[in-house]
Amino acid sequence: MFTPRSFFLVVLALSFSTPAFSQCAGSMAITNPTEHATVNSHFQIDAAASSSCSITALHLYIDDKLQFAQYGQAVLSGKFNAGIGMHQIVVQAWASDGKVFNQTVHVSVNKEVTSTCLPAFDPNVNVCAPVNLFETKGAVLVHAAARSSISPVVSLQAFVGGTLKAVSYNDNATEMEAALTLPRGIQNLNLVARSSNGSEFHNEANVQVVSAAANCQPPFISNIVPTPGDAPEFPVFLAAADAAACSITTFQVYVDDRLFYSQSNQKIFEGRLTLEPGAHNVVLQAWNSQGAVSKKAIKINVFGLQEPTCLPAPGVGICVGLAGPVENDYAMIFAAQPGAPAVIASPFTALRIYVDNASRATFYNFTAQEGITALHMTRGTHRVTAVGWTQQGSVVTDTTIVTVP
């Protein structure tokens, strides 16, 4: 018979057999600078937290003032500012259960140095590193500086894909130089400066984080834009493919089961495609050098057509123009048919761009009337030729010289 006494004995037995809740165990270690080191006013700090739980945040204090905060990363590596004299440095790690680990070192700053990253405008955020479309197999080194003579800058924030990753404060509010670990794929890094009057200004760069694997992999496709549900007027594309130890040979875009764009021997597609208004199923597709193929599907809704961005010379029948060099040896190329994207007598069926006589990109079907793409080129002067094929069978060309600094 189950009596109150027997129930008490069962509960008592369970209380002895059930392990007590254990908190996260961990530690914090500053490996650089060492205790009583002598440094200059912009010095390197390296620290790492270890814990049986995940690390949610790292905080850096100099002389009891919060100078830097970093989220979702157990390793801190960067350069930070302090004036001439003795300083106390504390790096603090927060575990997922709220437990805090920290370590303290003391340093002596004996020399002022000038920052190598300065904003060109006022107010402005200058992203000195990474350059746009930078590729890395490891952490991304972020070096940015902000300036505002209207109202002092009180913080400099780094967002990746809309998520806050790091913030600089106080004596370091106008500059950030730190290594951030980002997921594989193409990522948008947005630096936002906030001033004491509540205003904000920002700058950004896109980086491609690739696999460090030693073996060739099927293409890993990522994209920043478009995203599912986008409703653009003239769709922007920023997508990338990565096959680790082997190359990407072809990157293509299909719209409603028809090929609209193809590029050769380039991992990143940055550009715009002219699409008819309405709902579309977009498929990004890439091949690696061993023939493996991967796909990624996105549904978007286009609500209008953009006015032509490139006007051909009279009688040429096609236009190729340069928007200007993009960082990291990319050049943005415009190509268009007269009157595009309006209805014309004999629209293009294909529009191909050659760089130094090598085919690099082709626009097909409706998007062949006007296309924009960024192509990677070596530094120096290049001959860029656009060739258009019309439904009537005629062929038109235009050539321009592009200099990549």
pLDDT tens digits along 23-54? 788 999 999 999 999 999 999 999 999 999 99
**Neighbouring residues of 317: CB distance < 8 A, sequence distance ≥ 6:** 337, 338, 388, 394, 396
- pLDDT of 307 reads 64
Beta bridge partners of 71: 57
Lowest-confidence region among 220-229, 267-276, 315-324? 315-324
C-alpha distances in Å from residue 368, one per residue of 32, 261, 334, 337, 348: 56, 9, 11, 8, 6
Give residue 324's pLDDT band: very low, low, confident or very high (50, 70, 90). Answer: low
pLDDT of 252 > 70? The answer is: yes
- pLDDT of 7 reads 37
- pLDDT of 175 reads 98
Report the percentage of the chain scoring pLDDT > 90: 73
Report residue 202 as tokens.
Answer: 């920002």
Give the chain's mean pLDDT: 89
| Tens digit of each residue's pLDDT (9 = 90 or more) over 169-187 | 999 999 999 999 999 999 9
- pLDDT of 295 reads 98
Mean pLDDT (whole number) for 121-141: 95
Give residue 366's pLDDT band: very low, low, confident or very high (50, 70, 90). Answer: confident
Rounded CA-CA distance 156/135 in Å is: 24
Report residue 141 as tokens.
Answer: 């080194």
Angle at 209 between CA 241 and CA 68, to 5 degrees: 155
Contact at 8 Å (CB) between 153 and 174?
A: yes
Lowest-confidence region among 5-14, 125-134, 267-276, 352-361? 5-14
| Tens digit of each residue's pLDDT (9 = 90 or more) over 283-294 | 999 999 999 999
Rounded CA-CA distance 7/67 in Å is: 56
Lowest-confidence region among 49-58, 241-250, 303-312? 303-312
Q: What is the pTM of this model?
A: 0.88
Report residue 309 as tokens.
Answer: 């961005």
Domains of the chain in start order, with CATH, are 26-111 (2.60.40.10), 124-209 (2.60.40.10), 211-301 (2.60.40.10), 307-405 (2.60.40.10)
Mean pLDDT (whole number) for 223-252: 95
Rounded CA-CA distance 399/384 in Å is: 6
Contact at 8 Å (CB) between 208 and 266?
A: no
pLDDT of 310 > 80? The answer is: no
Rounded CA-CA distance 68/374 in Å is: 36
- pLDDT of 392 reads 85
Rounded CA-CA distance 149/126 in Å is: 15
Amino acid occupying residue 208: Q
- pLDDT of 176 reads 98
Choose between 218 and 312: higher pLDDT: 218
Contact at 8 Å (CB) between 301 and 104?
A: no
Choose between 403 and 130: higher pLDDT: 130
- pLDDT of 335 reads 81
pLDDT of 10 > 50? The answer is: no
Rounded CA-CA distance 141/127 in Å is: 11
